[in-house]
Amino acid sequence: MPLPDTMFCAQQIDIPPAFPDILKQFTKAAIRTQPHDVLQWSAAYFTALYKGNTLPVKDRLEMPVATQKTDTGLTPGLLKILHKQLSPNIYVNENEVNQKWKELGIPIQNLERILELGNIVPKVDFEWMKFLALACSSLSENLLAAMTYACEILTNDPPGGAAYIEFSIFKYLYSYLAKIEGIPENEIEAVILSLEDDVIRQDGLIQPRNFMQIVK
């Protein structure tokens, strides 16, 4: 007695025309992103594809971060994915960040340390941009490096470009991180004032080259 639904020839298998292209794009995305947990990331990828959400995919292949304070498993490329996924909302909650964090295979203990650094209370919504600043700091050995990462993540310039961002955003993130670092208010204001002339000449934009010699 033959088994039900037995396939006797390849012609009986109907493959949608778009299927090979979907697999090709998935393979390219996996190679660029290099997920820690391929199965978990794949589930997140196809769920986002089905729902029309932002895919958990890096813009390009990146090297590990050698200068970060601890081996967090977090990289600028992964942080940029999180920013694309979560930044449409000004405020987010711990559960939302936690879910995306797990999908990218980043150790959850490091998320907890970032939340603790920002005194973020569980079950209370918090500003995504402040969390982004804290995460950039966790990748960096100093405030200059943190702000450079922030520019590279937030810029609309192509990868490897000048990494311009709006000065108002720079001022907000820099002031927030500088206060956490314990820098006096008058020193923070002095840095901001010293940058304003360059910003005026650049239509309200700033890039890392503008603050390399000023932010410490």
| Same domain as 113, residue 20 | yes
pLDDT, tens digit, 9 for 90 and up, residues 27-50:
999 999 999 889 999 999 999 999
| Same domain as 119, residue 204 | no
Q: What is the CA radius of gyration of the chain?
A: 21
- Global pTM? 0.84
Share of the chain above pLDDT 70, in %: 88
Give me the number of domains the chain comprises. Answer: 2
Share of the chain above pLDDT 90, in %: 63
What's the CA gap between 96 and 100, in Å, rounded?
Answer: 7
- Domain encompassing residue 131: 15-139
Say what the pLDDT of residue 128 is: 97
| Same domain as 125, residue 28 | yes
Say what the pLDDT of residue 11 is: 60
| Same domain as 130, residue 57 | yes
- Which residues make beta-bridge pairs with 205? 166
What's the CA gap between 55 and 57, in Å, rounded?
Answer: 5
Tokens of 120: 């973020």
* Cα dihedral 174, 109, 81, 123 in deg (nearest 10): -80
Q: Hey, which bits of the chain come out as E strands?
A: 91-92, 126-127, 165-166, 205-206
| Cα dihedral sign, 163-167-172-175 | positive
| Same domain as 81, residue 25 | yes
Q: Is residue 48 part of a domain?
A: yes
Say what the pLDDT of residue 215 is: 85
Taking 80 as the threshold, does the pLDDT of residue 104 lie above it? yes
pLDDT, tens digit, 9 for 90 and up, residues 59-89:
988 865 555 554 558 899 999 999 999 999 9
| Same domain as 115, residue 22 | yes
Place of tokens 């950039």: 136
Answer yes or no: are the C-beta atoms of 65 and 75 closer than 8 Å: yes
